[in-house]
Amino acid sequence: EAYPLPRLSPLQKLTTDLCKDDKTIKDLVVGRRVGFYKVRGEIGFGTFSRVKLAFHALTKDKVALKILDRTRLDSHAQRLLSREISSMECLRHPNVVCLYEVVETPSRLFLVLEYAGGGDLHNRICTETKLSDVTCKITFAQILSAVKYMHNHNIIHRDLKAENVLLTSTGCVKVADFGFSTQISERSDALDTFCGSPQYAAPELFREECYLGPPVDVWAMGVVLFFMVTGTMPFRADTIGKLRRCVIECAYTVPPWVPGPCQRLIKGILKAAPDERYALDQMMGCNWLLPVEFPWSLVHPEPSSAQQSLLH
Ligand code: ATP
């Protein structure tokens, strides 16, 4: 089965058009340059990718360059990549990593991504053990805003976890990694497949129910919230079988020192039945989050004019 990659994005076309001597994108991938991006050091590794820091040669904007070796991509990996690109192409939100463009050569594929230089939420929680109440509120409000936006655009992430919540150097949330994402309308395709990390997986995934919709993201947000507030995971077990039982039975305990409004939010989200779980709008109106001003205008400055021109 072939999973064709989306056509050239307008930005890639722009890069090609800007190339005065009319070279193709392929010719632009030379040495430590990819299109208009000057490649610098390594940032991280994925199963099929290397991620490097790069700078736009004209605007000097930092980007994360995700590099994939096409010859190593089996059909499963191609499918994940295709989903990642097509979901990210539809999403433009201050709390979602922006895909600026895709550069292709016969052997490699380069995803030019918005750079999040503050590490990921998992590392931050592990380093600081437990985040302050106000940091938890601001971080969760941004995750909530990102997920609401995705669901409004009919996209379910399906792999929400603290590792996929990247942070900028100012603490602004950037949700990443859309490889398991899917369109809500694609029911027949993959809404009935188990994906994501077991510790964040909703009971309906373990029960192998056939309709898995947006509530799987809501559940994962509950796990992230629990982890952020307490520094521990709500469901822990040494085998997958035991974990499955804990999740299906919704066997977790919120420590008594967690503020009451936050406890109520966690309990409203981590409910075994998907249709009893809080809706995103209910979360937005919950007492615990109410004092939070919508934070992105404070922590996320308006995109620079150079970034704006990349986006339009
Ligand atoms: P896997 O492919 O196994 O699921 P992954 O999703 O973490 O792993 P990548 O998306 O390739 O793989 O990311 C690898 C690492 O690169 C991440 O763990 C993160 O540290 C870093 N990274 C990815 N995207 C960005 C970004 N936009 N800004 C900053 N760092 C990033």
Please, what is the angle between helix 215-230 and helix 260-269, to 10°? 150
| 31: Cβ contacts below 8 Å, ≥ 6 apart | none
Among 162, 159, 59, which Cα is nearest to 119's?
162
- Give the C-alpha separation, 87 to 261, whole Å: 34
Token pair for 229? 């507030």
Radius of gyration of the chain (CA): 20
The number of C-alpha atoms within 13 Å of 285 and in the hemisphere containing its C-beta is 4
> Counting atoms of ligand 1 from 1, which one is nearest the CA of 120?
20
Q: How far is the CA of 165 from the centre of ligand 1 (A)?
A: 10
Q: Which of 37, 40, 49, 83 to mutate to test the pocket of ligand 1 (most atoms within 8 A of CB)?
A: 49
| C-beta of 269 in contact with ligand 1 (< 6 A) | no
| C-beta of 177 in contact with ligand 1 (< 6 A) | yes
List per-residue pLDDT tens for the chain, 312 residues long.
333 444 444 445 445 444 444 444 444 555 577 878 889 889 999 888 999 999 988 888 899 999 999 888 888 888 888 889 989 988 989 999 999 888 887 788 899 999 999 999 999 999 997 789 989 999 999 999 999 999 999 999 999 999 999 999 988 999 999 999 988 865 544 455 667 789 999 999 888 776 678 999 999 999 999 999 999 999 999 999 999 999 999 999 999 999 999 999 999 999 999 999 999 999 988 889 876 665 444 344 444 444 444 433
Q: How far is the CA of 46 from the centre of ligand 1 (A)?
A: 6
| 148: Cβ contacts below 8 Å, ≥ 6 apart | 280, 281, 284
Structure-derived torsion over alpha carbons of residues 217, 223, 226, 227, reported in degrees to the nearest 10? -120
| 121: Cβ contacts below 8 Å, ≥ 6 apart | 139, 162, 163, 165, 166, 167, 173, 224, 228
| C-beta of 115 in contact with ligand 1 (< 6 A) | yes
Q: How far is the CA of 230 from the centre of ligand 1 (A)?
A: 25
| C-beta of 178 in contact with ligand 1 (< 6 A) | no
Q: What is the pLDDT of residue 194?
A: 66
Atom 9 of ligand 1, nearest CA residue: 46
Q: How far is the CA of 15 from the centre of ligand 1 (A)?
A: 24
Token pair for 51? 């991620």
User: Which value does ipTM take for this structure?
Assistant: 0.96
Token pair for 107? 């052997």
H runs (alpha helix) in the chain: 10-18, 25-28, 75-90, 121-128, 133-152, 187-190, 203-206, 215-230, 240-248, 260-269, 280-284, 296-299, 305-311
| C-beta of 46 in contact with ligand 1 (< 6 A) | yes
| 61: Cβ contacts below 8 Å, ≥ 6 apart | 55, 304, 306, 307, 310
The number of C-alpha atoms within 13 Å of 236 and in the hemisphere containing its C-beta is 7
Q: Among 120, 159, 177, 217, which one carries the catalytic annotation?
A: 159
| C-beta of 45 in contact with ligand 1 (< 6 A) | yes
| C-beta of 143 in contact with ligand 1 (< 6 A) | no
Burial 237-253 (b: 16+ CB within 10 A, else e): beeeeebbebbbeeebe
Pairing of β 165-167 and β 37-45: unpaired
**Is 159 a known active-site residue?**
yes
Burial class (CB in 10 A: 0-12, 13-18, 19+), 111: buried
- Give the C-alpha separation, 71 to 149, whole Å: 34
Q: How far is the CA of 268 from the centre of ligand 1 (A)?
A: 31
Token pair for 33? 């340059």
- Give the C-alpha separation, 39 to 53, whole Å: 6
Atom 20 of ligand 1, nearest CA residue: 44
